[in-house]
Structure 1
Amino acid sequence: MRLLVTFVGGLGHLAPLLPLARAARAAGHEVAIAGSGGLVPRIQNAGFTAFATSPMVHHDPAPPSQTRKPLEVMDARAATIEFADNFAERGARRMALAMPDVIRAFRPDLVLRDETDLGTTIAAELLDVPVATHLVLAAGLLIRPELVAPRLDALRAEHGLPPDPALTRLTSGLVLTDAAPSFRSPKSPLPMRPTPYNSFDTPRASARADRPGIYVTLGTIFNHASGDLFERLLAGLADLDVDVVATVGEGTDPADLGPQPTHVRVERFLPQREVLPAVDLVISHGGSGSLMATLAHGLPSLLLPLGADQPHNGMRAVELGVAATLDAATVTSEEVGARARELLADEAVRARCVAVADEWRELPGPSVAVAALEGAAS
């Protein structure tokens, strides 16, 4: 099988696809990945043929040090509108134009797109190539048909395709998810029945150490426009009897946050697989990648959504009782410390998180997803 994996956006859209791409390659299939030009080196370093669908400067890593932009916070409604503008308009147009040449060059038997890559469905339809979808939005509430369909229909018309007001091209065919099935909201406006699998190699939750650990992260994109949020978060944890590790991103110098207590460690980047097994609570923006990795380890979250899918993820996490949320724009350091202390002591929240992790751990591995891809290609 010749499998072409596609994504639009940054690392948060590529990363969820890599475990399955590796599994397909290990099974003897030829795999290529097409997406943002700035991530081409990362794709190539992972050993895959890469096709850039945007200039190579797009989503380039941040320079060694840069000034953080003022804090930007977007609510759930504004995030759905921004998604429609960015992904159903600009992103879809870019992929619809770039992907026909990529498909002709690679000649895939199947295209596997991330669910926010809307334009590739148009290119694949034009060239009569089957498409499978990989979910990357944890709660599944960001894509609103009433906002997305008119924009996509205008683009479809430009390519000589009939309208698709029900977005059937986005929901038909094989759908895969590498996430806990129970987290996807039943209120998702796009009806999908994904095939779940598990690529996370996580230990079962064990008894907590005498001194708890907290991990603080704002992801790889939203940390660039976080204003003084890191400072408020770390100040709120400074007086707690905990060990804190925070990652601020490649573009921020940890020294910019000022001197920290001895129990607070600040780094540009650390692999989450190394950090999460050693902590008891994660404080984050609620991005799908960060939140799903947290739940895979059976850990509760304190979420401060900033935009994109994060407000919806926060609402779903609270609904399931696996997290608490605070307003990033107004939260004080005192509120951060108090809420973190409460979550660390809440055994009921911890038990619900462990239950989600156990549900996830019982799912079959990537080989099941690879077999499903083989079936879709044939």
Structure 2
Amino acid sequence: MRILFTFIGGSGHLRPLFPFAHAAQAAGHTVAVAGSGSQQDAIASAGFTALATSEPRPPKADQEEDPLTAPDPQREERTMREGFAGNGARRHARVVRKIALDWKPDVIVRDEVDFGTAIAAESLGIPCATVIVLLAGGLIRPDTVAEPLDALRAEYGLSPDPDLAKLHGDLVIMPGPPSLRDPRYALPAGTFWCRPDHAIPQAAGSGTSSTSGAGRRPRVYFTLGTIDTFRELFDKVLTAARTIPIDLTVTVGPRLDPASFGPQPDNVRIERFIPQDEILPTCDLVIAHGGSGTLIGALAHGLPSILFPLGADQPHNAERCVALGTARELDPMAFTPKDVADAILELTGEETGAPYHRAARAAQAEINALPGPNDALAMIERLVSSPGSHLIARDH
């Protein structure tokens, strides 16, 4: 079987596809991944045929900092409407349609924000599965994207879809626990809920974390992913680490030099990048902006979080985690080093942190109980071998 995986945007849209692409390749299927020209090296490094849908963007210079601006829900909705559902969808509908005609996939698997691929697949009659990347939901709504998508659908001779019922395609795969989805933005009946990757063994005992031990300091990991470089946020957390008894590991991304932060005390380690699978098993607490990748990684390891959402789906994810009791949220524009120090002490304290750790371990147990990527692959295969049979997929 030939399976084409597609995404639009950056690594946050690409990486959720990898577990399913690896499962497909391991099962003997022919796999290609189509998306941003800037992500071609990442695709090839993961072992897949890379097909560019755009020219790579010029890289930002090392040491270049991003301006810190307040979260703006209207700005994010405008980006979703005009960028992803507008210009981006129109470009991908055209480019992916051409790729599909040349490469001839049996089935397409797209990231949920890749609207253009959904329209291209429907216009060609190719089965299409959708992988959710906005875990809590909230940004993709009929009032946000239906109008520009219906205009594009008309260009391809497709009927209107004002309720976005056809947008989801033939199968929806949610790589995360049902509790993480905001019930206001429910996914379609028949959604296949699965683990984002392999299950993480749940720690025994009733301590505040899976790695806590008598006589050692709490271990805290702080990251803003591989894209954002808000130095003032790093500076605040580093300042906090000098005032409380913790071991802090920070990853600052490829554009900032760890040495530029100056000498650090023995309890602080700064790196450009550390694989999540390497760092998260050693941690008691994660500090992040609420991006889906780091967030689901923390929950898969049973770890609570301190979140200061900056944009995109991060405010929705943070709101949901606070509601579940797995996280504290801080205002990225207003929090002080003392605020983050107090939050760290609260979430790592034996008594004050216990409710957060119990909630995070409950999410971990929910994740571990879900089927894995191989099971999702079986559902994808059925789109080709038994069209329509995906409709019997049960909610987990």
TM bucket (normalised to shorter chain) is over 0.9
Contact kept in structure 2, 1:112 and 1:134, CA below 8 Å = yes
2:219 is the alignment partner of 1:213: yes
Deviation at 1:195, TM superposition (A): 0.8
Question: Where do 1:1-378 residues align within 5 Å?
Answer: 1-55=1-55, 57-58=56-57, 62-63=60-61, 65-188=62-185, 191=188, 193-198=190-195, 199-205=197-203, 206-209=210-213, 210-221=216-227, 223-224=228-229, 226-345=230-349, 346-378=353-385
Aligned partners of 1:84 and 1:193: how far apart in 2? 26
Aligned partners of 2:211 and 2:10: how far apart in 1? 36
SS of structure 1 residue aligned to 2:184: coil
Which amino acid in structure 1 is aligned with residue 289 of structure 2? Answer: H
Deviation at 1:144, TM superposition (A): 1.9
Contact kept in structure 1, 2:161 and 2:167, CA below 8 Å = no
Aligned partners of 2:188 and 2:378: how far apart in 1? 23
Stretch deviating more after TM superposition (148-157 or 263-272): 148-157
Deviation at 1:172, TM superposition (A): 4.0
Normalised TM-score (structure 2): 0.90
Residue 157 and residue 266 in structure 1: after superposition, are their counterparts in 2 closer, same or farther (change >3 A)? Answer: same
Aligned partners of 2:123 and 2:372: how far apart in 1? 33
SS of structure 2 residue aligned to 1:168: coil
Unpaired stretches in structure 1, ≥5 consecutive residues: none
Aligned to 2:394: none
Aligned partners of 1:13 and 1:35: how far apart in 2? 9
Deviation at 1:294, TM superposition (A): 0.4
Normalised TM-score (structure 1): 0.95
Deviation at 1:62, TM superposition (A): 4.9
The share of aligned pairs that are identical, in percent, is 48
Aligned partners of 1:4 and 1:252: how far apart in 2? 34
Deviation at 1:192, TM superposition (A): 5.1
SS of structure 1 residue aligned to 2:15: helix
Aligned partners of 1:208 and 1:170: how far apart in 2? 45
Unpaired stretches in structure 2, ≥5 consecutive residues: 204-209, 386-396
Which amino acid in structure 2 is aligned with residue 161 of structure 1? Answer: L
Aligned partners of 1:75 and 1:227: how far apart in 2? 20
Aligned partners of 1:256 and 1:356: how far apart in 2? 37
Contact kept in structure 2, 1:254 and 1:268, CA below 8 Å = yes
Contact kept in structure 2, 1:70 and 1:227, CA below 8 Å = no
Which amino acid in structure 1 is aligned with residue 312 of structure 2? Answer: A
Which amino acid in structure 1 is aligned with residue 366 of structure 2? Answer: E
Task: Flag as ranges the 4+ runs of structure 1 deviating above 3 A.
Answer: 60-63, 75-78, 189-193
Q: Paired residues, what number? A: 373
Deviation at 1:189, TM superposition (A): 5.9
Deviation at 1:43, TM superposition (A): 1.0
Aligned partners of 2:60 and 2:380: how far apart in 1? 35
